Chain A
Amino acid sequence: MPHSHNWPARRQRAFTLIEIAVVVMIIGVLIALTLPGYRRIHLKSQATAVTNDLRSFANSFINYNLSSGWPSGGYGPGVIPPEMTGVLSNAFTQSTPIGGNYEWLVDTGAGKAVLVIRNVNDDKDLLEMVDGMIDDGNLSTGSLTVSGPDLIYVIEK
Chain B
Amino acid sequence: MISPYKVTLLQLKANLAEAGAPSDKIELGPQTPEEIYMLAGKLLKINPTGQPAPEPAIIVRRGEKSWRIAVHNGLLRMHKSASAFDDYWTVHTPEGLGELPPFRSGNSTPPISPKSRTSSRPSHRSAWRTAIEVTALIGTGVVLLAVGLWYGVPHRHLGDVPPDVVVLTSVDERETLFKTVAGTYASGKKPGDSVIVITPQGQMTLAALGRNGEPVVPLRLSEAVQAARRKSAACLLTSFGVISAPEPDALVMGNVKLRRTSVN
| Complex CA–CA separation, A2 to B99 (angstroms) | 12
The answer to whether B257 touches A109, judged by C-beta atoms less than 8 angstroms apart, is yes
Are A18 and B256 within 8 A (Cβ)? Answer: no
Complex Cα distance, B116 from A123, in Å, reads 63
Whether a CB of chain B sits under 8 angstroms from the CB of A32 is yes
> Out of B90, B149, B192, B240, which one reaches A105, CB within 8 Å?
B192
| Contact A122 to B134, CB < 8 A, known contacts A31-B148, A148-B240 | no
Tell which of B92, B216, B239, B255 touches A140, judged by Cβ atoms closer than 8 Å. Answer: B255
Is residue A22 within 8 Å, beta carbon to beta carbon, of the partner chain?
Answer: yes
Whether B154 contacts A116 by the Cβ 8 Å rule is: no
Beyond A21-B134, A21-B138, A28-B141, is A5–B152 a contact (Cβ under 8 Å)?
no
A133: Cβ under 8 A from any B Cβ: no
Q: Name the residue on A nearest B119 (C-beta).
A: A4
Contacts of B216 in A (CB 8 A): 76
Are A148 and B241 touching (Cβ within 8 A)? yes
Contact at A122–B159, with CB atoms within 8 Å?
A: yes
CB pair A28 B143 closer than 8 Å: yes
Q: What mask results when residues 142 to 179 of chain B are scored 1 for a CB within 8 Å of chain A, else 0?
A: 11110111011110111110000000000000000000
Count of residues in B whose CB is under 8 Å from the partner chain: 69
Say if the beta carbon of A106 comes within 8 Å of chain B. yes
A2, A27, A74: the one within 8 Å of B211 (CB): A74
Cross-chain contact A8 with B87 (CB below 8 angstroms)? yes
Q: Closest CB-CB distance, A120 to chain B, in whole Å?
A: 8
A-B contact count (CB 8 A): 203
Contact B254 A146 (CB under 8 A): yes
Please, how many angstroms separate the alpha-carbon atoms of A60 and B41 in the complex? 99
B89 partner, pick from A8, A32, A76, beta carbons under 8 A: A8
Query: Do A31 and B220 have beta carbons less than 8 Å apart?
Result: no
Q: B188: nearest residue on chain A (CB-CB)?
A: A109
Q: Kindly state the separation between the CA atoms of A119 and B158 in the bound complex, as whole angstroms.
A: 11
Q: In chain A, what residue has the closest Cβ to B153?
A: A39
Given contact pairs A3-B96, A25-B141, A108 touches B116 in the complex (Cβ within 8 A): no
* B residues less than 8 Å from A131 (CB atoms): none
Confirm or deny: A35 has a beta carbon within 8 angstroms of a beta carbon on chain B: yes
Asked if B190 is an interface residue, CB under 8 A from chain A, the answer is: yes
Contacts of B100 in A (CB 8 A): 5
B240 touches A108 (CB 8 A): no
Report B74 CB to chain A, min CB distance, Å.
13
Q: B152, B156, B243 — which one has the most chain A CB atoms within 10 A of its CB?
A: B152
Interface membership of chain A positions 38-75, coded 1 if the CB is closer than 8 angstroms to chain B and 0 otherwise: 11000000000000000000000000000000000111
In the assembled complex, the Cα of A74 lies from the Cα of B188 at a distance in Å of 12
Structural contact, B96 and A122, CB atoms closer than 8 A: no
B110 close to chain A: CB less than 8 A: yes
Which of A's residues lie within 8 Å of B, judged by CB?
1-9, 11, 17-18, 20-22, 24-29, 31-36, 38-39, 73-76, 103-110, 114, 116, 118-119, 122-127, 139-141, 145-150, 152
17 further A-B pairs in the complex, CB-CB below 8 A; given A4-B92, A124-B160:
A3-B95, A5-B116, A8-B87, A21-B134, A21-B138, A28-B142, A28-B143, A35-B152, A74-B192, A76-B210, A103-B192, A108-B193, A125-B154, A148-B253, A149-B158, A149-B221, A150-B194
